[in-house]
C-alpha cells in the first residue's frame, strides 16, 4: 500500500475569499482563524474574506495563506486523515510544520507574522524575481554564478521551471544570457522583493531571534525542508533550517522526488490554487494528486486514508 503526503503552496496563490467555505462550515477552521488573529494581532478572517489590497503584501500574505492552509489541515485531521509525510513550498513549509505538530499553532502564527514583517522590511529597492522556462536548472545556476551582481536560484520548482532572484539589473542580465542559452521564456514575477536571495539573510537572522524563544515538540509526521530537499532528522534542526530558508534556494523538486523514492504515491495539495499540482505533472505523472481548496473537494479524498 502506498503512502500519502500533504503538500502546501507558498505565496502567489492567495486570493480574497480563500478558505471562506471552510470557515463557515467547520468549527475547527474557525478556531484556527481565531488563533491566528490572536497571535498576529490582525483580523485574519477580514484579511482573507473582505476585498483589500493588503492580502497581496508579503507581511499580510504570509499569515493569511498559512491560516487558510492550517484551517483546512485541521478539518482533514478532524475527519481522521493523517499523512505519512508533509512538505510545503517556501511559506507552505510552516503548514507542513503544523502537520508534523512540531510547534504550537499560536507560536506558528506568531513566527510567520514576524517572518512576513521582517521579509517586507528587508526588501531592498531594485530587487526582482524571474521564472526561467524550458531550460535545465544546472545551466541556469551556472549562468547566475557567471553574472555580475547578486543573482541566484530562488526555486527549483520542477523540470523546465526554475526561478531566479536578486538585484534587478543582475536578474535581467542573467535572463538575457539564459535566452541565448536556449530558455523558452523568461517571465518577470510580480513580487515585492527578491525572495530566497542572500539579500534577505538579515531577515532570516531576525527570525532566528524570534524562534529562539519558541518551544518545539517531537516531529510526529516526517516533513521535508526546502533548504536540503530532504527529511528533517530531528527537532534540533528545525530552527536553523527555518532561518536559512528565508535566503536559500527552495529545492521543491528534490522534496517531491525524495517523498516518491520513499514510497509516496498520493499527494494532497492543501490550500489556495493548484500550483504544486502543476509542478507535479512535470516531476512525475505516475502519482495521484488531489487538491483540497474548497469544502466540496473533501469528497475527492479516499475513505481508505482515514484512521
User: 223-281 pLDDT, tens per residue?
Assistant: 999 999 999 999 999 999 999 999 999 999 999 999 999 999 999 999 999 999 999 99
The average pLDDT across 47-66 equals 94
List pLDDT tens digits, range 26-50: 999 999 999 999 999 999 999 999 9
Q: According to the model, what pLDDT value does residue 306 have?
A: 62
pLDDT at residue 304 is higher than 90 = no
What are the CA-CA distances from residue 25 to residues 28, 242, 296, 302 (Å)? 9, 33, 11, 21
Choosing from 37, 40, 137, 196, which is the catalytic residue?
196
| Digit-coded pLDDT (tens) for 91-115 | 999 999 999 999 999 999 999 999 9
Look up 90 and say whether it is catalytic. Answer: yes
Which residues make beta-bridge pairs with 270?
292
Residues with Cβ within 8 Å of 299's Cβ and at least 6 positions away in sequence, in order, are: none
pLDDT band of residue 124 (cuts 50, 70, 90) is low
Q: What mean pLDDT value characterizes the chain?
A: 95
Q: Note the pTM of the prediction, 2 decimals.
A: 0.95
Active-site residue, from 13, 37, 40, 90: 90
Q: pLDDT (tens digit, 9 = 90+) per residue, 184-200?
A: 999 999 887 899 999 99
Candidate CATH numbers 3.20.10.10, 3.30.70.250, 3.40.50.1000, 3.30.70.920; the one for domain 127-188: 3.30.70.250
Q: At what angle do helices 105-122 and 27-40 cross, to 10 degrees?
A: 50
Sequence ranges of the domains in the chain: 3-122+198-305, 127-188
Q: Percentage of the chain with pLDDT > 70?
A: 98
Name the pairing type of β-strands 185-188 and 161-167: unpaired
**Confidence check: pLDDT of 207 > 70:** yes
Q: Classify 3-122+198-305 by CATH class.
A: alpha beta
- Tell me the backbone φ, ψ of residue 284, rounded to 5 degrees: -160, 115
Determine the pLDDT at residue 168: 93
Report d(CA 30, CA 19) in Å as an integer: 10
Residue 238 CB neighbours (<10 A): 22
According to DSSP, residue 112 is labeled H
Rounded-to-10 torsion of CA 60, 65, 66, 71: 130
Amino acid at each position: 500500500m502506498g503512502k500519502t503526503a500533504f503538500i502546501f503552496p507558498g505565496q502567489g496563490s492567495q486570493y480574497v475569499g480563500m478558505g471562506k467555505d471552510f470557515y463557515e462550515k467547520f468549527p475547527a477552521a474557525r478556531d484556527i482563524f481565531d488563533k491566528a488573529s490572536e497571535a498576529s494581532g490582525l483580523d485574519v478572517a477580514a484579511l482573507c474574506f473582505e476585498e483589500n489590497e493588503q492580502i497581496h503584501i508579503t507581511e499580510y500574505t504570509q499569515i493569511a495563506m498559512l491560516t487558510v492552509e492550517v484551517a483546512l489541515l485541521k478539518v482533514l485531521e478532524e475527519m481522521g486523515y493523517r499523512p505519512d509525510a508533509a512538505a510545503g513550498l517556501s511559506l507552505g513549509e510552516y503548514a507542513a510544520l503544523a502537520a508534523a505538530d512540531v510547534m504550537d499553532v499560536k507560536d506558528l502564527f506568531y513566527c510567520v507574522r514576524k517572518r512576513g514583517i521582517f521579509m517586507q522590511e528587508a526588501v531592498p529597492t531594485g530587487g526582482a524575481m524571474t521564472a526561467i522556462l524550458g531550460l535545465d536548472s544546472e545551466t541556469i545556476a551556472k549562468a547566475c554564478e557567471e553574472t555580475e551582481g547578486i543573482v541566484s536560484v530562488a526555486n527549483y520548482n520542477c523540470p523546465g521551471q526554475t526561478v531566479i532572484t536578486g538585484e534587478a539589473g543582475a536578474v535581467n542580465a542573467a535572463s538575457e544570457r539564459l535566452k541565448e542559452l536556449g530558455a523558452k521564456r523568461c517571465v518577470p514575477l510580480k513580487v515585492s522583493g527578491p525572495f530566497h536571495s542572500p539579500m534577505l539573510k538579515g531577515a532570516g537572522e531576525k527570525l532566528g531571534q524570534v524562534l529562539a524563544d519558541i518551544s518545539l515538540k517531537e516531529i510526529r509526521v516526517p516533513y521535508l525542508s526546502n533548504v536540503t530537499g530532504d527529511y528533517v532528522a530531528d527537532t534540533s534542526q528545525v530552527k536553523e533550517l527555518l532561518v536559512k530558508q528565508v535566503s536559500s534556494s527552495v529545492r521543491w523538486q528534490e522534496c517531491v522526488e525524495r517523498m516518491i523514492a520513499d514510497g509516496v504515491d498520493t499527494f494532497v495539495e492543501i490550500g489556495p490554487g493548484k500550483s504544486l499540482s502543476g509542478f507535479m505533472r512535470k516531476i512525475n505523472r505516475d502519482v495521484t494528486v488531489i487538491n483540497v481548496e474548497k469544502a466540496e473537494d473533501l469528497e475527492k479524498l479516499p475513505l481508505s486514508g482515514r484512521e
